[in-house]
Amino acid sequence: MSEIPSRVVAVATVKGGSGKTTIAMCIAAHWLYSGLSTAVIDTDPQRSARRWAFAGSELEIMRIDVCDAHDGAAVMARVEELERAGFERIVIDTPGFRSPALFGALDRADLALVPVRPSPVDFEVAADTVDLLGAVQLDRIGDRPLHVRMVLSQVSPRTVIARHMRQELKSAGYPLMDAELSIRVAYAEAPFSGSVPGLIDPKGVAAREVDALVAEIDKVWA
């Protein structure tokens, strides 16, 4: 049995297309290739995480389980099963809508990572998601805290909007990661090759962004 405590990340926001699956797969692959036993639970009916992993050979070795988006209890049970099996990192990709799977994932997560693109609509939905997480927190069973962090996703380099969003979110008191993911072809192409930027070009900008995100996540629950 592993000495490393298992940690569960739910990548969650009710805004579609915000970068959940991209973040989920990039951080899971990072942990897998750094030697941690890592599993992904795909709760999105589109099965994007599963498709991504099976599009090539590099992520085939990662355990990818699927759960019904309408069955929150199944997600909770699956997390417990993976923890008992000794998985050190469990990443849950959630659908881009309010679903029982989202609530099941949040009930068992140590960290809810909420991707937010620099746009007014994403800002509002991400803020609503974080407020919703505050309510979930109150009903949780068990004594592990649910940390909540927003992460800027698909940021266009050299534009002021992301900086502006960062200031707005911070001044409104929302917990925001320092790490952010810029908009890059490397992320958009990765699902087609069944790989991730960190394996395709480990020294590239996208790979370094993911490294920084994972390092910051590991500090959240340190």
State the residues that interact with ligand ATP by CB under 6 A. 16-22, 44, 48, 96, 153-154, 181, 183-184, 187-188, 191
Residue nearest to ligand ATP according to CB distances in the complex: 96
What's the min distance (Å) between Cβ of 143 and ligand ATP? 30
What's the min distance (Å) between Cβ of 102 and ligand ATP? 11
What's the min distance (Å) between Cβ of 50 and Mg ion? 11
Residues forming contacts to Mg ion in the complex (CB under 5 A) are: 20-21, 48
**Contacts of the segment 136-139: beta carbons below 8 A, 24+ positions apart:** 136/103, 136/106, 136/107, 139/107
Q: Closest CB to ligand ATP among 174 and 187?
A: 187
Q: Closest CB to ligand ATP among 32 and 151?
A: 151
Q: Which does 47 bind (CB under 5 to 8 A by kind): ligand ATP, Mg ion, none?
A: none
Q: Which does 183 bind (CB under 5 to 8 A by kind): ligand ATP, Mg ion, none?
A: ligand ATP
Q: Which does 18 bind (CB under 5 to 8 A by kind): Mg ion, ligand ATP, none?
A: ligand ATP
Q: Closest CB to Mg ion among 37 and 150?
A: 150
Q: Closest CB to Mg ion among 20 and 117?
A: 20
